[in-house]
């Protein structure tokens, strides 16, 4: 009922011209929309996970930004002008999280063709160890093998698991827990993925050849920098820590890799999985970071905490109407869904798993 009422309000705002008036108003000119993308489907990933959208959907979004005459700004300039109160009309910044290969092969060339700047919050461990990222690949393989009735794996499951939606969730959690308890190295986790694929009747090496769930390579990162992409902090291991020393070490590891790709010193941070602790803003400021983005939907305004900047997380469930309404600003007036933070990003222990 609430969703139906929301869509009715957004359609009414467009039909009456209210959305157009708002988009050109002083109110909107004092606000920044930060878009958050994760993956652009190279194959069927958008059918699997809510953080992947199709390439057609991305192109449509870029067309909306162009047709609405949005001022698409580099993130650093956008944050600076937000603070200074000098934002241009319909200010937007485009960001991508993680750095999967599809950003390099699909998303960036498309954004580049529109002449828009883009920021990649890059997590760097799997850039160096360029194999499928364990967590998402585990989930993806189970989804690809969903036609099998059950998965029998006595080493990990006490009994066979039915591969329906809930069963796949339980299987994913059990495999991740097994890897954690055994303190598996990245290579050992890759071997575990290969065994999972074999048990599901899938060709793991074919996925690897097609770079499914791979991050960009160091060479691709350097090419992106040379073509104008902006690389910023997203931690080295896609993990955050409670202690100042461990968190600073994680940021330094991330920084060292980013600058080795030819990028300028990163100054902006993206919370992994949208997760943050109350002490993180002060900690990041002490480290020398200028801003941090969340996964909480909203427009950034003059008084927004620069270390808790909201972003619109783009998913396949975001309709064209909703996207246009966020660009104009009308969506910011309506109730928003609560965003769950991914607490699995927080590492409590002080020792790192084997690498």
What's the mean pLDDT in 310-332? 96
Residue 354: inside a domain? no
pLDDT score of 95 more than 60: yes
pLDDT in tens, 198-237: 999 999 999 999 999 999 999 999 999 999 999 999 999 9
Query: Do 118 and 140 sit in the same domain of this protein?
Result: no
Q: What percent of the chain has pLDDT over 70?
A: 95
Claim to verify: residue 251 and residue 340 sit in the same structural domain: yes
d(CA 160, CA 149): 10
- Shortest CA distance to 64 belongs to which of 301, 322, 330, 295? 322
User: Does the residue 339 lie in any domain?
Assistant: yes
Q: Are 155 and 267 members of one domain?
A: no
Q: Are 269 and 284 in contact (CB under 8 A)?
A: yes
Q: Which of 163, 193, 209 is the last residue of a domain?
A: 209
In DSSP terms, 268 is beta-bridged to 291
CA distance 139 to 167: 11
Domains in the chain: how many in total?
A: 2
- CATH no. for residue 89? 3.20.20.370
Task: Answer yes or no: is 51 within a domain.
Answer: yes
Nearest of 258, 236, 262 to residue 249 by alpha carbon: 236
Instruction: Please check whether residue 62 lies inside any domain of the structure.
Output: yes
Q: What is the mean pLDDT of residues 59-73?
A: 98
Q: Which of 16-30, 85-99, 295-309, 329-343 has the lowest mean pLDDT?
A: 329-343
Q: In terms of domains, do 222 and 302 share one?
A: yes
Residues 148 and 196 in one domain: yes
Regarding whether 201 and 59 lie in a shared domain, the answer is no
The predicted pLDDT at position 152 comes to 93
Question: Is a pLDDT exceeding 60 seen at residue 177?
Answer: yes
Q: Please work out, in degrees rounded to the nearest 5, the angle formed at the alpha carbon of residue 141 by the alpha carbons of 210 and 233.
A: 70
- Looking at the structure, tell me whether residues 124 and 139 fall in a common domain: no
Q: What are the tens digits of pLDDT across the range 264-313?
A: 999 999 999 999 999 999 999 999 999 999 999 999 999 999 999 999 99
pLDDT score for 1: 58
**What pLDDT was estimated at residue 353?**
46
Last residue of a domain, one of 185, 209, 233: 209
Residues 74 and 98 in one domain: yes
The set of residues, in sequence order, having a beta carbon less than 8 Å from that of 6 and lying 6+ positions away, is 334, 335
> Which among 209, 243, 264 is the end of a domain?
209
Statement: residue 2 has pLDDT above 90: no
Q: Residues 273, 344: contact at Cβ < 8 Å?
A: yes
Question: Are 13 and 100 contained in the same domain?
Answer: yes
Q: What is the mean pLDDT of residues 137-159?
A: 94
The answer, yes or no, to whether residue 341 has pLDDT greater than 70, is no
Average pLDDT over residues 11-26: 94
Distance between CA 72 and CA 124 in Å, rounded? 26
Residue 35 inside a domain? The answer is: yes
Euclidean distance between CA atoms 197 and 144, whole angstroms: 9
Model confidence at 149, pLDDT cuts 50, 70, 90, reads confident
In a domain, 342, yes or no: yes
Percentage of the chain exceeding pLDDT 90: 89
Domain annotation covers residue 158: yes
Q: 210 — phi, psi (to 5°)?
A: -90, 5
| Domain shared by 199 and 221, yes or no | no
Range of the domain at 252: 2-128+215-346
Do 244 and 339 lie in one domain? The reply is yes
Mean of per-residue pLDDT scores for the chain: 94
Q: What is the pLDDT of residue 5?
A: 83
Residue 351: band (very low, low, confident or very high) from pLDDT cuts 50, 70, 90: very low
25 plus 117 within the same structural domain: yes
> What residues contact 305, with CB distance under 8 A and at least 6 apart?
281
Query: What is the distance between the alpha carbons of residues 149 and 128, in angstroms, rounded to a whole number?
Result: 36
**Of 338, 351, 353, 320, which Cα lies nearest the Cα of 14?**
320
Flag whether 353 is in a domain. no
């Amino acid at each position: 009922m609430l969703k139906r009422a929301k869509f009715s309000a957004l359609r009414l705002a467009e039909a009456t011209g209210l959305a157009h008036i708002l988009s050109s108003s002083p109110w909107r000119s004092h606000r920044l929309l930060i878009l958050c993308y994760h993956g652009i489907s190279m194959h069927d990933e958008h059918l699997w996970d809510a953080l992947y959208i199709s390439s057609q959907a991305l192109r449509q979004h870029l067309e909306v930004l162009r047709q609405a005459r949005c001022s698409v700004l580099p993130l650093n300039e956008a944050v600076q002008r937000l603070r200074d109160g000098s934002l241009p009309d319909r200010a937007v910044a485009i960001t991508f999280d993680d750095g999967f290969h599809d950003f390099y092969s699909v998303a960036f060339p498309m954004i580049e063709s529109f002449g828009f700047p883009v920021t990649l919050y890059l997590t760097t461990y799997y850039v160096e160890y360029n194999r499928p990222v364990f967590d998402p690949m585990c989930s993806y393989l189970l989804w690809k093998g969903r036609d099998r009735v059950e998965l029998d794996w006595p080493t990990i499951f006490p009994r066979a698991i039915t591969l329906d939606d809930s069963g796949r969730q339980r299987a994913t959690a059990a495999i991740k827990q097994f890897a954690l308890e055994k303190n598996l190295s990245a290579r050992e986790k890759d071997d575990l993925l290969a065994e999972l694929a074999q048990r599901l009747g899938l060709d793991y090496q074919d996925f690897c050849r097609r770079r499914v769930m791979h991050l960009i390579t160091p060479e691709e990162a350097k090419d992106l920098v040379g073509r104008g992409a902006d690389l910023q902090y997203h931690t080295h291991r896609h993990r955050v820590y409670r202690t100042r020393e461990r968190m600073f070490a994680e940021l330094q590891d991330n920084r060292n890799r980013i600058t080795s790709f030819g990028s300028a010193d990163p100054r902006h941070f993206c919370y992994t999985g949208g997760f943050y602790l109350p002490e993180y803003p002060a900690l990041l400021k002490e480290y020398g970071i200028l801003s941090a983005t969340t996964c909480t939907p909203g427009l950034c305004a003059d008084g927004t905490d620069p270390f808790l900047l909201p972003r619109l997380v783009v998913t396949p469930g975001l309709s064209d109407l909703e996207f246009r309404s966020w660009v104009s600003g009308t969506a910011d007036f309506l109730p928003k869904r609560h965003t769950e933070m991914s607490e699995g990003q927080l590492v409590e222990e002080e020792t790192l798993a084997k690498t």
